[in-house]
Structure 1
Amino acid sequence: MNLSIETPALLFSATSLILLAYTNRFLTIAQIVRSLKKNYDQDHNKSILIEIKNLNKRITLIRYMQLFGVLCLFLSVFAMFLLFLNYETIGIYVFGVSLLSLLISLGISFWEVSISVNALRVHLKDLMEEN
């Protein structure tokens, strides 16, 4: 099996964009948590506390998404380095692990999005019951 040095490089742009999207999600959720924490300090509303716990779980998932995304990028660069040094077999395996890291990151991303969708459905359910 042949693997050219350009193949791992194909992941650079995709992985970089994914990491940027993950970072934006993290920053948005962090801002919401800060706002909810301020509201909770004033009201001590239990529903706010539940929402903060949900968001905290999502932040943890995003951290793992970022971890596996960065690992994917790191392993892609390392695979390119191994291919540059003509260690083709090891480079192929390292690139395979890089792809696995990307799959794990995307899987965790799907999990995090599904938690977000479920939370939004709870909010919409409350709105529908009011009407």
Structure 2
Amino acid sequence: MEELTLTTPALLFSAISLIMLAYTNRFLAYAAIIRNLSKQYVERQDTSILRQINNLKLRVRLTRYMQIAGISSLLFCVLTMFLIYVKLNIVAVWAFGLGLILLIVSLLFLIWEIQISAKALQHHLADIEYDLKK
């Protein structure tokens, strides 16, 4: 079995950092949309706005889970580096494996959230097409 070195978990730092930046941007975009929809709902209590808000609530929750899993993955990479430094190589391998699993979980949440986003956009397009046909 090949030995785990300090550079192996360090390689994931930039990837995880970029993923976390993308997740944060998604979260900020959702916050802006929700604030806008909230104002619209105060002006006119439209059920379509409520459906959009409910959809966004799920997407925000998934984004939070993505962020938690991604940050946890980064923490386990740092822990792995520490464990290698103090010569606890067997534990380091397990910590790194757990970090990789958490990164996979984070990406699976992202796939789920993208599917929901795409479906929401399809509903908007269908509404526009319906209005055009009138």
TM-score w.r.t. length of structure 2:
0.96
1:99 deviation in Å? 0.1
Tell me the amino acid that sits aligned with residue 115 of structure 1. I
Compute the RMSD of aligned alpha carbons: 0.7
Tell me the matched-pair count. 131
For structure 2, list consecutive stretches of 5 or more residues without a partner in the other structure: none
2:22 match: 21
Aligned residues: percent identity? 46
For structure 1, list consecutive stretches of 5 or more residues without a partner in the other structure: none
Alignment of 1:1-131 (within 5 A): 1=1, 2-129=3-130, 130-131=132-133
Give the Cα separation in 2 of the matches to 1:94 and 1:123: 44
TM-score w.r.t. length of structure 1:
0.98
Give the Cα separation in 1 of the matches to 2:39 and 2:127: 23
Give the Cα separation in 1 of the matches to 2:11 and 2:101: 15
Tell me the amino acid that sits aligned with residue 55 of structure 2. N
Give the Cα separation in 2 of the matches to 1:49 and 1:127: 18
Give the Cα separation in 2 of the matches to 1:32 and 1:77: 35
